[in-house]
Amino acid sequence: MCGIAGVVYFDGHNPSSTIEKMLKEQKHRGPTTSQSISIKNIAIGSVRLSMRDVDNKDAIFFNEKRDIVVVYNGEIYNYLCLKNFLIKNGHSFATENDAEIIPHLYEMYGRNFVQYLDGMFAFCLIDMRSKFPKIILGRDHFGVKPLYYYKDASSFVFASEIKPILTIVPKQKLDEKAISSYLKYRFVANPLTPFKNIKKVKPSSIIIFREKLISRKYFPSTKYVHNYNNVFNILKKSVEQNTEADVKLGCFLSGGLDSSIISCLMTKFIKRIPSFTIQYENFLLNELEYANLVSQSYKNIISNYVCVNSKTDLVNVIEKIVLALEEPIYSTVTVATYLLSQQAKKQVSGVLTGDGSDELFMSYQYLKKSFASKIPLECYKKNIGWLSNNVKHFLFYDQNIFNKIKLLRETKNIINTFRDFELKYRLSDYHLLRVDKLTMANSIEARVPFLCTNLLYFTNKLDLKKILMSKNEKEELKRA
């Protein structure tokens, strides 16, 4: 797990000192190692939190000829399979780091290499084989790992977070479309950020920059997808891949179905698993009871509780959360995520979570209610929003602010409309952004086994209408 950054100056400015400022601003993402490199008017770098190959301090990776260079954040689940394939095709490796397969895979497939990666990642690749270097930014299919960029007449800048970019270009205007998105959907939808000229790389996309910016979508290839016949085998394999690490791992355990499944499957691969559960004092919705049932059923799940009570300094915590998130999210679990991450860091370097299951299996109750409604799209908008019409008219003089962004439109297939919005926007910009930013603020990696290519293809084949009409939530998961 890392934080990456880079800058290209068009005016002859030396980028060396700039990149060090950017890396320092996101040191919490990679306290193990910091490394940068300058290539003429380009500088890139990475701060690394070592999860495997911990003795190797490299944070920048090359091909054999050192004319393709990569900085990278994340985990590639199928890297061993890809590495073996590359070795058979004559490639050699200097490290055991999964990032090193990227420049070699690019040599074979060009920009299409990214569709063969199964994992959570954000990267910058520089191809120096021509007179004018080509820069490629890429982000994983689900948008687990964040990546931002900025371009003006004098520079092109990118980073894993917004703060490093603001150290270079601090004077930024707010984006009214981003405000509209937050007020309508509870989050800022990609590619927008709160700042007008700073953008997110979209999930499942690459940005190519040489003389101009070009954005390209990609979809995961089926070449390395295994035809597993049930959910259990898919999840078991995904958890096995996610537990590959040279450091201690734990899990966030709420006692709900998703986190319980992940925690139980972890016991097949790890002897001792610290679990972390939030406990609210004098609050009806408490996770402790069901989490205890899971941990008591498995001797190697060791329970840890984080209690939120009247003594918790929530003002201080919320200030840290706002700084870490960098963009507004209306979520009731931000405090819990931050406090769990803070506690988990004392024992482990990474945690597995149950995020992503609800989007893949369309199991949110508001989806079922919206589908059953006579006006499903309007019902869906109301359910995912958070301001009533009365409140909107009371608070905002300019009602046009709500119409500056429109992501949801009436279509013939309303189910696909729901699923596309959940997977393309709400998952990455609402759920995964919160998990990444708040865990990394505490220098801990969060892994999401539900979000793997095999499970995506499996759920794509399910009868979504049947799922939305069923009273038995997540029937496929329960059967497995």
Phi, psi of 175 (to 5 degrees): -100, 120
> 119-128, 144-153, 457-466: lowest mean pLDDT where?
457-466
Span 286-324, pLDDT tens digits: 677 888 889 888 988 988 888 777 777 888 999 999 999
- pLDDT at residue number 401: 57
- pLDDT at residue number 21: 95
- Distance CA(54)–CA(96), nearest Å, equals 9
Between 54 and 299, whose confidence is greater? 299
Question: What's the pTM value of the predicted model, to 2 decimals?
Answer: 0.93
CA distances from 127 to 83, 141, 361 (A): 20, 22, 39
Residues 337, 439: contact at Cβ < 8 Å? yes
Residues 36, 19: contact at Cβ < 8 Å? yes
Which DSSP helix (H) or strand (E) runs through 390? helix 389-395
Mean pLDDT, rounded, of the chain = 89
> 177-181, 238-242, 324-328, 440-444: lowest mean pLDDT where?
177-181
pLDDT over 80 at 225, yes or no? no
262's CB contacts (< 8 A; 6+ apart) are 235, 239, 251, 352, 353, 354, 449, 450
339 alpha carbon, distance to own chain's centre: 19
Residues above pLDDT 70, as percent of the chain: 92
Phi, psi of 335 (to 5 degrees): -65, -45
Helix axes 314-325, 433-440, angle to 10 degrees: 110
Between 28 and 457, whose confidence is greater? 28
Q: Which letter does DSSP use for residue 404 in this model? A: S
Nearest in space to 161 (alpha carbons), one of 22, 50, 38, 33: 22
Q: Which letter does DSSP use for residue 224 in this model? A: T
Span 137-170, pLDDT tens digits: 999 999 999 999 999 999 999 999 999 999 999 8
Phi, psi of 247 (to 5 degrees): -130, 170
CA distances from 342 to 165, 250, 303, 393 (A): 26, 13, 15, 40
